[in-house]
Amino acid sequence: MKRTVALLALAAALAGLGMGCRKPKTAGKGVSAAELLGTADRLMKQGKYDEARRSLRVLEENLPGSAEFPRAKIMLGDSYFFQGSPSYPEAEVEYQSFLNYFPRSEMRDYALYHKALCHFSAIESAERDQAETRKALSSFQQLLAESPGSPYATEAKAKITQCWRRIAEHELQVGIFYVNVFDYPAAERRLKDLLVAYPDYVDRERAYYYLGEALRLRTLSPAEMTQFNKDYLAKAHKDSLNELTPDEGNEYTKELQAFATERIDGFRAEAKDYYKKLVESYPRSEWATKASDRLVAMGSTGVKEALDS
């Protein structure tokens, strides 16, 4: 019996050595991960972000297996995001690094949201490229897909709406630019695509007006001329317009004029349709007044009088 008690006591002692006396992991001169994290937290609260990062880097490089490591990765992103002059590209790198290390972390939605904010904060004006807007949009959407119940979900939805509006405004600006440089076929394509792709976000008043302008001024495009010539030569069994006889040349001119007239009449009719949509849908808009004047000039009677009344 005494021997059994002694063995049990020895086993308990060995268990105590293995479990109860385990020391926290340390870096350098015996500084623990918890101490490094605490120091970094204190420094960040004091606005000393560079010094905080030094502590966090020591932890990152020397104690990647510690329980404090995930929090340190998040804090590295925060140190760039919240510093006096934020460095959003560096913050985004750190948040993405956290996401790569910890795909199932409970802090994942925090990292996703702040990664999206890094892109959102770098969004350019509507006239500029919208690459950052699209990256922000993708990140906010990923957050909602992964964590629809996240405390950041409501704000993410609001930011998504802002992203769509900025992208739609950019596309509208491109369409207006094409009108202003007289590339009416390109303007028509861009503005029609805009109305289909972003029906809930586009400024329809300007979109309708400038689409009307593009169609009002549109003639045959080089591509349409090329296709007409190709079709006519195939019908005439010729390889080149230079091979046409005088009579065939006259017939070609006659058919081209008829084709051009039909197409241009179609453009003008479509322009009127967009002007009318503008007048009917937004009667008090300055763009509706301009559209009404266009309709009067194009021979649509009764429109301006109805608007003025």
- The whole-chain average pLDDT of the chain stands at 88
In a domain, 44, yes or no: no
pLDDT at 66 over 70: yes
In a domain, 227, yes or no: yes
Question: What local confidence, expressed as pLDDT, does residue 204 receive?
Answer: 95
Quick check: 155 and 139 in contact, CB under 8 A?
no
Residue with the two structure tokens 């058919």: 255
In a domain, 110, yes or no: no
In a domain, 278, yes or no: yes
In Å, the largest CA–CA distance within the chain is: 127
What digits encode the pLDDT tens for the residues 253-266?
A: 999 999 999 999 99
| Rounded-to-integer distance, Cα 278 and Cα 217, Å | 18
* pTM of the predicted structure, to 2 decimals: 0.78
Mean pLDDT within 233-246: 89
Half-sphere exposure of 294 (CA within 13 A, CB side): 28
What digits encode the pLDDT tens for the residues 113-166?
A: 999 999 999 998 888 989 999 999 999 999 999 999 999 999 999 999 999 999
Q: How many domains would you assign to the chain? A: 1
Q: Which of 146, 57, 55 is nearest to 99 (CA)?
A: 146
| Rounded-to-integer distance, Cα 138 and Cα 24, Å | 40
Q: Which domain holds residue 258?
A: 203-309
Residue type, 200: D
In a domain, 307, yes or no: yes
Strand locations in 15-144 (E): 26-27, 31-32
In a domain, 231, yes or no: yes
The token duo for 32 is 């623990």
In a domain, 207, yes or no: yes
In a domain, 235, yes or no: yes
Quick check: 212 and 282 in contact, CB under 8 A?
no
How many CB atoms are closer than 10 A to CB 85?
6
